Amino acid sequence: MEATLAMPVNAPQRADQRAGKYLTFQLGNEEFAIQVLRVREIMGVQEITAVPQTPGYVKGVINLRGKVIPVVDLRLKFGLAEMEYTQRTCIIVVQIQGEADKLLIGVIVDAVSEVLTLQASEIEDTPDFGSGVATPYLLGMAKIKGKVKILLDIDKVLSSQDVSGLGF
C-alpha cells in the first residue's frame, strides 16, 4: 500500500511527475501552462506601485490583502512587445520557492484560458532548438486538440535572482 502511494512521487521518469492539472493562459499568440498547485489566485489587473531600480519586467508591487507582493510582466520577461492592459489581462499569483522561504509573486498574462488535466502520454520533452537556445524554464510541451501548450517551470522562470533586479 505504502509502496503504491509513494510511486508517483518517487518515480524516476520525468514524464510522470509532469502529469497533472495545469492552468493555461495566453501570451501573444502562444498558450502556456503552469501547474495548478502553484497557483494561489487569479485577479484582474489592479493599481501597481512601481519600484525603482528593478528590471523592466518587474512592474512593481501590489497589495494582496495586506501582503505586499512583487508583480512581473511575463510578456516583458519573455521579450515580447509590451501591450496595454485590457479587461482580459490577469495577474496570476503563484507560489515559488525563494532562497529562504516560499514566496508569492504576481504574474501578468494576456488572458487566462482554462484548467487542463494532462496525462503523462500527452506531454513531450522540449524539442532541441539547437545549440545556443537555452530552455531551462520549459518543463515540456503538450499537444491538445492539435494545439501546442508550453509547460513552464515557474520556479525557474521567476528565480529570485532574476526578480531581484540588476545593477547592484
Partner 1 sequence: MDSEQKASTVGTLNSPNSLASDPELLNDFIVEAREHLTNIELQLLTLDQDPANAEAIHAVFRGFHTIKGMAGFLDLNAIRDVSHEVETILDLARNGQLAINSDVIDAILASKDYLSRALSELDAMLQSGRSPKTESNQALIEIIRGVATGGHEESCEEARPGMPQQESSAVRQEMTGSSAIPEGTTGLAELARGVEAKPGKAVESSKNIDVICSTEAVEASKPADAPAGVARSIKVDTAKLDYLVDMVGEMVIAQSMVRHDPDLATGLRPRLARNLSQLARITDEVQRTAMSMRMIPIGQLFQKTARLVRDLSRKAGKQVDLELSGEETELDRNIVEELADPLMHMVRNAVDHGIETSEERVRAGKPAAAKVALKAAHQAGHILIQITDDGRGLDCEKILRKARDKGLVDADVTLSEQEIFALIFQPGFSTAEKITDVSGRGVGMDVVRKHVQKLRGRIEVHSSIGHGTTFLIKLPLTLAIIDGLVVAVGNQRYIVPIFAVREMLKPSQDAISTIRGREEMALVRGALLPLLRLHRRFGVEPKFSNPWDSLLIVSESNGKQFCLMVDELIGKQEVVIKSLGEAMRNIPGVAGGAILGDGRVGLILDLEGLFGARMQTAASGAQDHA
Per CB under 8 A, residues contacting partner 1 are 47, 49-54, 58, 60-63, 66-70, 98-101, 103, 105, 160, 163-165, 168
CB of 22 or CB of 137, closer to partner 1: 137
Q: Please, which residue, 9 or 100, has the CB nearer to partner 1? A: 100
Q: How far apart are CA 147 and CA 30, in angstroms?
A: 9
Structural Rg of the chain based on CA atoms = 17
DSSP for 42-103, please give it: EEE----B--TTS-TTEEEEEEETTEEEEEEEHHHHTTPPP----TT-EEEEEEEE-SSSEE
Which of residues 2 and 99 has its CB atom nearest to partner 1 in the complex?
A: 99
Closest separation in Å from C-beta 38 to partner 1: 16
Residue 43 CB, shortest distance to partner 1, in Å, is 13
In the bound state with partner 1, the residue whose beta carbon lies nearer, of 20 and 60, is: 60
We find the least distance from the C-beta atom of residue 155 to partner 1, in angstroms, to be 13
Residue 3: CB atoms within 10 A of its CB come to 7
145 burial class (0-12, 13-18, 19+ CB within 10 angstroms)?
Answer: exposed
Angle at the Cα of 42 (from 37 to 45), degrees rounded to 5?
Answer: 150
- Other Cβ atoms less than 10 A from the Cβ of 118: the count is 20
When the beta carbons of 20 and 98 are compared against partner 1, the nearer one is 98
Q: Which residues partner with 61 through β-bridges?
A: 49, 70
Shortest approach of partner 1 to residue 90 CB, angstroms? Answer: 19
Q: Give the shortest CB-36-to-partner 1 separation in angstroms.
A: 23
